[in-house]
Amino acid sequence: MKKRYDVIVIGAGSVGQPTAFFLAKEGVKVLCIDKNASSGQGQNKAAIGGVRATHSDPAKIEICQQSLEIFSTCKERYGLDVGWKKGGYCFPVYREKEEALFKGMLEGQKKHNLNINWEPPDRIKELIPGINPNGLRGGTYSPDDGQISPLLAAEAFETNAIENGADFLFHSEVIGLVIKQNKVCGVKTAKDTYFADIVVNAAGAYAQKIGEMAGIAIPISPDSHEAGISAPIAEFLGPMVVDLREGDEGKTSNMYFGQNHENAIIFCYTPNPLIRGIDRRSTSEFMPTIAKRLVSIMPRFKNLQIRRLWRGLYPMTPDGFAIVGKAPKIDNFYLGVGMCGQGLMLGPGVAKNIASLILTGKPSIDEEIFKDLSPERDFYAGKAETLK
């Protein structure tokens, strides 16, 4: 393996893989390093596969629109299957406060070309056959959103990056950075040192540790979320479904589920309070809690056979937004970190913007909107997106 590259990407996950791909296809000599055995083995494989541009923040909307365009055309453009399913996202509403919230966001969402509308109860019942109709007020539906397979996507980006000349190095934990005259110019592993003109930190939940090696503080604090998947059932459900209500007497926040391209039901909820740290062992309370929530909104799930449970990490920032761009105080160091549990849907769009910054000096979305993700922003200014 070569020792000198144009760009070294740390992390072969939701952001690192497509970053390596987008750079390699432009002729950049790229090395992607990961401590795991293969691509997508960190938080990427813990995702349940939902990909949406349905957000309330302009930067997330525009970057996820880029991701959707990439995922939805991956098979036609590159000949690789990522398990794309264009079923949309649906947010059913049972309470007045969510109705006011969603209706209040529509104008801003449509301003950024998001295809979304408020739908009446009968339409929601068509989109989600068997949904509990009691108190259903309607909901939003964005048909251009969808789902992918995280594992297939990992294989697709790595395969394409390699075909375009990128190198991948696994079983290689980064233990230090080579810094000369305030510039990052290389990466140290336990076995060897590799040099490059530019280094990209795409290390997910461990991005803070990589930042410390460069002498910068990256405000990321992981918490964990549990998820699961059923055995396949007859196909009936198109969209991913998000219920923003609290559940189990306030012990859970939003809950979401969908039917993937293999017809299994995938599901997750946000615990309350959040479970801080990097422990990824399954908990005893998750399955009883999620079962109660799933059956309450979808009674037809009462006999669902569950195949597997797991936990993944959300690398959270103080304001709930990703950190993307040139790192402060040090040259040649770029950040694509702090995806806040949305790395799969943000990843290709973030990667496209990082590649554009490296190649042209400008992001691929509007520069003013892109500033919302700046590593030098005020993380404690009080801004927070309403659709997590």
Q: Supply the DSSP string of 153-191, one letter for each residue.
A: HHHHHHHHHHHTT-EEE-S--EEEEEEETTEEEEEEESS
- Evaluate whether residue 72 is within a structural domain: no
- Evaluate whether residue 71 is within a structural domain: no
- Altogether, the residues listed in the chain come to a count of 388
Pair 178, 331: CB distance under 8 Å: no
The answer, yes or no, to whether residue 236 has pLDDT greater than 90, is yes
The answer, yes or no, to whether residue 247 has pLDDT greater than 90, is no
As a whole number of angstroms, the distance between CA 167 and CA 43 comes to: 21
Share of the chain above pLDDT 70, in %: 98
Same domain? For 306 and 351 the reply is: no
Same domain? For 347 and 231 the reply is: no
Q: Where are the alpha helices (DSSP H) in the chain?
A: 16-24, 58-72, 74-78, 96-111, 121-127, 150-163, 207-213, 286-297, 343-360, 367-370
Q: Dig out the tokens for 364 from the structure.
A: 């691929």
Q: DSSP of 343-374, one letter per residue?
A: HHHHHHHHHHHHHHHHHHSS-SS-HHHHGGG-
Share of the chain above pLDDT 90, in %: 89
- Evaluate whether residue 134 is within a structural domain: yes
Print the domain residue range for 185: 4-66+150-220+319-373
Same domain? For 242 and 306 the reply is: yes
Closest CA to 373 of 327, 322, 336: 322
- Evaluate whether residue 126 is within a structural domain: yes
**What pLDDT digit, counting tens, does each position of 271-325 carry?**
999 999 999 998 899 999 999 999 999 999 999 999 999 999 999 999 999 999 9
As a whole number of angstroms, the distance between CA 84 and CA 95 comes to: 32
Same domain? For 244 and 133 the reply is: yes
**What pLDDT digit, counting tens, does each position of 180-231 carry?**
999 999 999 999 999 999 999 999 999 999 999 999 999 999 999 999 999 9
The answer, yes or no, to whether residue 386 has pLDDT greater than 80, is no
As a whole number of angstroms, the distance between CA 214 and CA 293 comes to: 44
Q: Dig out the tokens for 102 from the structure.
A: 């969603």
The answer, yes or no, to whether residue 388 has pLDDT greater than 70, is no
| pLDDT confidence bin for 382, thresholds 50/70/90 | low
Same domain? For 234 and 130 the reply is: yes
As a whole number of angstroms, the distance between CA 299 and CA 280 comes to: 30
Helix (H, G, I), strand (E, B) or coil at 117: strand
Q: How many domains does the chain have?
A: 2
Q: What is the CATH number of the domain that holds 238?
A: 3.30.9.10
The answer, yes or no, to whether residue 387 has pLDDT greater than 60, is no
- Evaluate whether residue 364 is within a structural domain: yes
Q: What is the CATH number of the domain that holds 199?
A: 3.50.50.60
- Evaluate whether residue 47 is within a structural domain: yes
User: What's the whole-number average pLDDT of the chain?
Assistant: 94
Of 14-18, 60-64, 384-388, minimum mean pLDDT range: 384-388
Same domain? For 168 and 47 the reply is: yes
Q: Do the strands 117-119 and 183-189 form a parallel or antiparallel pair, or are they unpaired? A: unpaired
Same domain? For 298 and 226 the reply is: yes
- Evaluate whether residue 81 is within a structural domain: no
| pLDDT confidence bin for 383, thresholds 50/70/90 | low
